[in-house]
A and B are shown apart, each in its own frame.
Chain A
Amino acid sequence: MIQVDGKAVPWRKDMTVTALIRALGETYDYPAVRINNRIVSRPHFDQTTVPDGATVYLIPLVAGG
């Protein structure tokens, strides 16, 4: 299992961030996520896998200055 925004979500081997967001049924274009205290931006969603037991936060808005 992994924790996504505080909720338990089933983990799958080789699950990418893109696959995770799809599995959550999310259609919103998240600009970034945080996985185990490390930021991953959307350009890397396809190549980044989520480890088992990870704590994930979906970052809804990057607001800048």
Chain B
Amino acid sequence: MTGLIFKEIKATTYQRADIDRGYAGQTLAVDLGTPEIQTVPVTDEMKTRFIGGKGFDLWLLWQAVTGSTRWDDPENAICIACGPMGGTPAYPGSGKSIVTTISPLTKTVIDSNVGGYFGPYLKFSGFDALKITGKAQKDTIVFIDGLEKKIELLTVDGLSDNAYEIAGALTDHFGRGKPGHISVVCTGPGARHTFFGCLNFTWYDAKRKRARYKQAGRGGIGTVFADKGLAAVVVRWDRVPLDVNHPADPEAARAVGKQYSKEIVALDPKQNEMARVGTTHLVPIMNDYDCLPVNNFRYGQHPRADLIGRDVYQHLFDPGFDGCWKGCTVACSHGVKDFVPLTGPFKGQAVFVDGPEYETIAGCGSNLGIFDPFTILEINFYCDNYGLDTISVGTSIAFVMECFEMGLIDQRQSGGLSLSFGQRDSALELVHQMGRGEGFGKIVGQGVRRMKKIFADEFGADPGILEDIGMESKGLEFSEYMTKESLAQQGGYGLALKGPQHDEAWLIFLDMVHNLMPTFEQKADNLHWFPMWRTWFSLCGLCKLPWNDIVPEDNKDTTEPARVMKHIQWYAEYFSAVTGRKSTPDDLVVMSEAVYNFQRIFNLRMGFGRREHDTLPYRAMGPVTVEEYESRRKRYDTQLEEIHGVDITGREAAEKVALLRKFREAQYEKLKGVVYQRRGWTKDGIPTVATVKKLGIDFPEVLEVLKENGVTA
């Protein structure tokens, strides 16, 4: 690649052992400040207690920071890990990297689970996890060359600011003619100018001959990355045979992987068609069930939703294999080729768009009142290119659009932009402003929580209504499901460790559609089991989609179809075969429970992690405005009368809104208490000493944090 000037500032060689039972046996620590490069052995205790992936990340992050570390302090670490199961092409969904850091949005731990080649290549290069601390003085690339067993820190001049150009240039340069041997982690200019910068992880698409992207989107990890002066992290590796993890029982590992892959190939075309349409199938279904966020989560349905769903994108996606990891039969990472943006620096040029997925469609489409699939593609493309999280971008713009429509802000504050719902040009302009760090986009890029304060303090907006309609919890913007009618999903969002992201507990369908958990105790049981189980994927370097997006034909006849226990049995067999640690499905859940509780205590250490932090804006629980109430009046009237025993005769809508609110807020508070009890936590939401002892995470520093917070038993 011409025009790039690299200068080595530090380099070291290292020893690389063969992968043994899924583990490389060491981690890599890079301090950009000193600079320093160290390899650190992985202990048996780490494997036993933290398993790998997010567990290793959390342990490394815990050691790197203190309770007073801010997101932009040099000691804050970005940790990236795969996991013992990650990296084989023999098992579907085995290419995940898990990233953690202290978030600029939530000021505590954030984690993100992302596809692409990086995590597996990192492990095969000799490292179960990578920890990056410090700050570089000049744009720096960390290059991990697993083939040469060499690590280099390089400054670089001449590198583009745009994420796609960064990935392309570095893949060409470091690939030495073999681009499939490279994975790049990078962000874009928006990460420097906002608090919700994402990380792009590449995978190489041999058919289309290009580096493609998956995103570690949530919580501003890209912002931390940019703040550290990182231009990119690049890893180089080559062969990935089926038994690359050197499992304890290769035959058993191969057998269970084969049957899983075979089942997906046979059943996905009959079920959700992930390999053909990805998650776009969710758009019409969520819309039909009143769960698709529309106009800042005011509503769950819109008559034009069909224009931005599966029926349209199936014709726009470029057909072909779209697996973000080798051998994955789900292969859901679809994209659109030769898309021509109408705005921005790529205006008029044909580009490839990685996506969109459901969250981007709902967040940057219906939730903005935009039902044009091409505008969504353009926002998707520029968010990736600028290094912005599409979920936070969508939810933040939705918030300012509603504020604008309510008259809480106007064109004096928005820099002249008209921001009513459906204003495609204004939405795109805000994205560009976030990329450039200019105008009103710079305020929007601070996220919903900071905007609420700015709008109240500086623009004189009513703080009460801002709290009600600003869709964030713990500082993180909501992902894209409309939860008003599902108390369990309210818990799924409000009780999630990192904030309202759906990866912990997506219970909305089981609760609202299937009515599988009518009692508080049943909700609490599911709000215990599902987050614990789903955490396990991130410990192992796995994707959750193969678990329940394609299910066995006889799954519906089992006692708990939502848990897809046959697959969990396969995961237990597979884990046992790879690691040699004989495990049952219940054992997998307990593994997660230890890490999950550790993360809750980590939040506590950072000044969060109590009942008061598990709050939700009222928009997540019920109708804030009379207009919302009236749009579903029959439903709400019936609930007031039949569930709450209220005589609604002669009552004004505003009065009914207030009454319903009282009941729903009380329900949510009650739910929190029941869930805490089920999880073995105090009434204030803190794990008890007995719980951490039972889970084997009663390290002295953990007990010290509990003691400092008044928990001694």
Chain A residues within 8 Å of B, Cβ to Cβ: 5-6, 28-29, 31-32, 38-39, 41-44, 57, 59-65
- B271 interfacial by beta-carbon distance below 8 Å: yes
Question: Across the interface, do B285 and A39 meet the contact criterion of CB distance under 8 Å?
Answer: yes
Question: Across the interface, do A61 and B284 meet the contact criterion of CB distance under 8 Å?
Answer: no
Shortest Cβ gap from A37 to chain B (Å): 8
- Answer whether A64 and B556 are a contact pair too, CB < 8 Å, given A29-B514, A59-B272: no
**CA of A32 to CA of B561 in the docked complex: distance in angstroms?**
15
**CA of A31 to CA of B551 in the docked complex: distance in angstroms?**
14
Question: Out of B271, B503, B547, which one reaches A65, CB within 8 Å?
Answer: B503
Offer 17 A-B interface pairs, CB within 8 angstroms, sorted by A.
A28-B557, A28-B561, A29-B514, A31-B289, A31-B514, A42-B288, A43-B288, A43-B289, A60-B551, A61-B551, A62-B282, A62-B509, A63-B547, A64-B502, A64-B508, A65-B279, A65-B506
CB-defined contacts of B514 to chain A, threshold 8 Å: 29, 31
CB-defined contacts of A41 to chain B, threshold 8 Å: 284-285, 288-289
Please encode chain B, from 548 to 588, with 1 for each CB lying within 8 Å of some chain A CB and 0 for all others: 11010001110001101000000000000000000000000
- B358 interfacial by beta-carbon distance below 8 Å: yes
Shortest Cβ gap from B289 to chain A (Å): 6
- Answer whether A62 and B285 are a contact pair too, CB < 8 Å, given A5-B270, A31-B513, A42-B513: yes
Question: Across the interface, do A61 and B288 meet the contact criterion of CB distance under 8 Å?
Answer: no
Task: Classify the secondary structure of A's interface with B.
Answer: loop
CB-defined contacts of A64 to chain B, threshold 8 Å: 282, 481, 502, 506, 508-509
- B298 interfacial by beta-carbon distance below 8 Å: no
Q: What 15 new A-B contacts, CB under 8 Å, besides A43-B289, A61-B551?
A: A5-B270, A28-B556, A28-B561, A29-B514, A31-B289, A42-B513, A59-B272, A61-B271, A62-B272, A62-B513, A63-B545, A64-B508, A65-B358, A65-B359, A65-B506
With CB as the reference atom, state the residue of chain A lying closest to B287.
Answer: A41
Question: Across the interface, do A61 and B285 meet the contact criterion of CB distance under 8 Å?
Answer: no
Chain B residues within 8 Å of A, Cβ to Cβ: 270-272, 279, 281-282, 284-285, 288-289, 310-311, 358-359, 479, 481, 502-503, 506, 508-509, 513-514, 545, 547-549, 551, 555-557, 561-562, 564
**CA of A41 to CA of B301 in the docked complex: distance in angstroms?**
13
CB-defined contacts of B310 to chain A, threshold 8 Å: 39
Shortest Cβ gap from A46 to chain B (Å): 13
With CB as the reference atom, state the residue of chain B lying closest to A31.
Answer: B513
CB-defined contacts of B513 to chain A, threshold 8 Å: 31, 42, 62
Which 4 pairs between the two chains have the least Cβ-Cβ distance?
A41-B288, A65-B502, A63-B548, A64-B506
Question: Across the interface, do A60 and B555 meet the contact criterion of CB distance under 8 Å?
Answer: yes
CB-defined contacts of B549 to chain A, threshold 8 Å: 61, 63
Shortest Cβ gap from A6 to chain B (Å): 7
With CB as the reference atom, state the residue of chain A lying closest to B515.
Answer: A29
CB-defined contacts of A65 to chain B, threshold 8 Å: 279, 358-359, 479, 481, 502-503, 506
**CA of A28 to CA of B311 in the docked complex: distance in angstroms?**
26
Shortest Cβ gap from B333 to chain A (Å): 15
**CA of A41 to CA of B289 in the docked complex: distance in angstroms?**
8
CB-defined contacts of B547 to chain A, threshold 8 Å: 63
Most chain A C-beta atoms within 10 Å of own C-beta, residue among B358, B502, B513, B555: B513
Question: Across the interface, do B509 and A31 meet the contact criterion of CB distance under 8 Å?
Answer: yes
Shortest Cβ gap from A33 to chain B (Å): 11
CB-defined contacts of B272 to chain A, threshold 8 Å: 59, 62-63
Shortest Cβ gap from A9 to chain B (Å): 15
Shortest Cβ gap from A52 to chain B (Å): 21
**CA of A32 to CA of B273 in the docked complex: distance in angstroms?**
13
CB-defined contacts of B479 to chain A, threshold 8 Å: 65
CB-defined contacts of B545 to chain A, threshold 8 Å: 63
Question: Across the interface, do A6 and B502 meet the contact criterion of CB distance under 8 Å?
Answer: no
**CA of A63 to CA of B514 in the docked complex: distance in angstroms?**
12
**CA of A56 to CA of B617 in the docked complex: distance in angstroms?**
41
CB-defined contacts of B555 to chain A, threshold 8 Å: 60-61
**CA of A44 to CA of B285 in the docked complex: distance in angstroms?**
11
CB-defined contacts of B282 to chain A, threshold 8 Å: 62, 64
Question: Across the interface, do B281 and A39 meet the contact criterion of CB distance under 8 Å?
Answer: yes
Shortest Cβ gap from A20 to chain B (Å): 16
CB-defined contacts of A39 to chain B, threshold 8 Å: 281, 284-285, 310
**CA of A38 to CA of B562 in the docked complex: distance in angstroms?**
24
Question: Out of B359, B481, B508, B561, which one reaches A61, CB within 8 Å?
Answer: B561
**CA of A38 to CA of B281 in the docked complex: distance in angstroms?**
10
With CB as the reference atom, state the residue of chain B lying closest to A63.
Answer: B548
**CA of A29 to CA of B513 in the docked complex: distance in angstroms?**
9
Question: Out of A6, A38, A57, A60, which one reaches B556, CB within 8 Å?
Answer: A60
CB-defined contacts of A60 to chain B, threshold 8 Å: 271, 551, 555-556, 561
CB-defined contacts of A61 to chain B, threshold 8 Å: 271, 548-549, 551, 555-556, 561-562, 564
**CA of A38 to CA of B311 in the docked complex: distance in angstroms?**
7
CB-defined contacts of B509 to chain A, threshold 8 Å: 31, 62, 64
Most chain A C-beta atoms within 10 Å of own C-beta, residue among B271, B548, B551: B271
**CA of A63 to CA of B271 in the docked complex: distance in angstroms?**
11
**CA of A65 to CA of B402 in the docked complex: distance in angstroms?**
26
With CB as the reference atom, state the residue of chain B lying closest to A59.
Answer: B271
With CB as the reference atom, state the residue of chain A lying closest to B501.
Answer: A65
**CA of A57 to CA of B269 in the docked complex: distance in angstroms?**
9
Shortest Cβ gap from A25 to chain B (Å): 13
Shortest Cβ gap from B471 to chain A (Å): 16
Question: Across the interface, do A6 and B270 meet the contact criterion of CB distance under 8 Å?
Answer: yes
With CB as the reference atom, state the residue of chain B lying closest to A43.
Answer: B288
With CB as the reference atom, state the residue of chain B lying closest to A5.
Answer: B270
CB-defined contacts of A43 to chain B, threshold 8 Å: 288-289
**CA of A28 to CA of B508 in the docked complex: distance in angstroms?**
18
CB-defined contacts of B508 to chain A, threshold 8 Å: 64
Question: Across the interface, do A63 and B556 meet the contact criterion of CB distance under 8 Å?
Answer: no
